[in-house]
Each structure stands twice: as C-alpha cells, then as structure tokens.
C-alpha cells in the first residue's frame, strides 16, 4: 500500500500532512525544492499523539466560566 503526503495551502503557507505509518517505517526522503517553496514549507503534526489535547479541555472550561459569569436574573427593564 502506498501512502502519500498531502500538501495544501493555509494562511499563505504550504502545509504537508504525513501519515503516521510513513513516519514509523522509514525516514522522510529529502526533496530538493526551490528556495521560495522551502521557505514557506511547514510541517503539520505527523500523528495524533503529537497534537495537544489541552485545547479541547480549555474549551470546556471556557464554556463553564461563561455560564458562571451570566447573571442569575435579568433587570426588570429588559424582561418587560
């Protein structure tokens, strides 16, 4: 089975997704690219283990904080 890297552009940068199986089995071959392309090239996380999970936990905490900040009762002028 042949695994391919997926290249796409995001915010003006070229990103490259590399399947996790490719990382485990063999080193990534170096490809000669023009300097303007190699300067823009950034690597995305190669496996799910590299992606931090904190973002999801922080999002849940923010929702809890928003609920706590909301007033329990509305002023009479708004409720009318």
Q: Where are the domains of the chain?
A: 6-79
Q: CA 18, CA 16: separation in Å to the nearest integer?
A: 6
State residue 31 phi and psi, 5-degree precision.
-115, 130
At residue 38, the pLDDT reads 47
Residues 39-54: what's their mean pLDDT?
Answer: 52
Q: CA 79, CA 74: separation in Å to the nearest integer?
A: 6
Residues 54-78: what's their mean pLDDT?
Answer: 53
Helix/strand/coil for 13: strand
Beta strand spans in the chain (E): 6-10, 13-17, 41-43
Instruction: Tally Cβ neighbours within 10 Å of residue 18.
Output: 17
79 confidence band (pLDDT: 50, 70, 90):
very low
């Amino acid at each position: 089975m042949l695994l391919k890297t997926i290249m796409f552009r995001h915010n003006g940068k070229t990103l490259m997704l590399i399947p996790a199986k490719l990382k485990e089995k063999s080193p990534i071959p170096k490809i000669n690219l023009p300097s303007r392309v190699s300067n823009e090239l950034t690597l995305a996380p190669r496996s799910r283990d590299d992606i931090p999970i904190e973002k999801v936990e922080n999002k849940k905490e923010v929702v809890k904080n928003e609920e706590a900040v909301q007033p329990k009762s509305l002023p009479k002028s708004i409720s009318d």
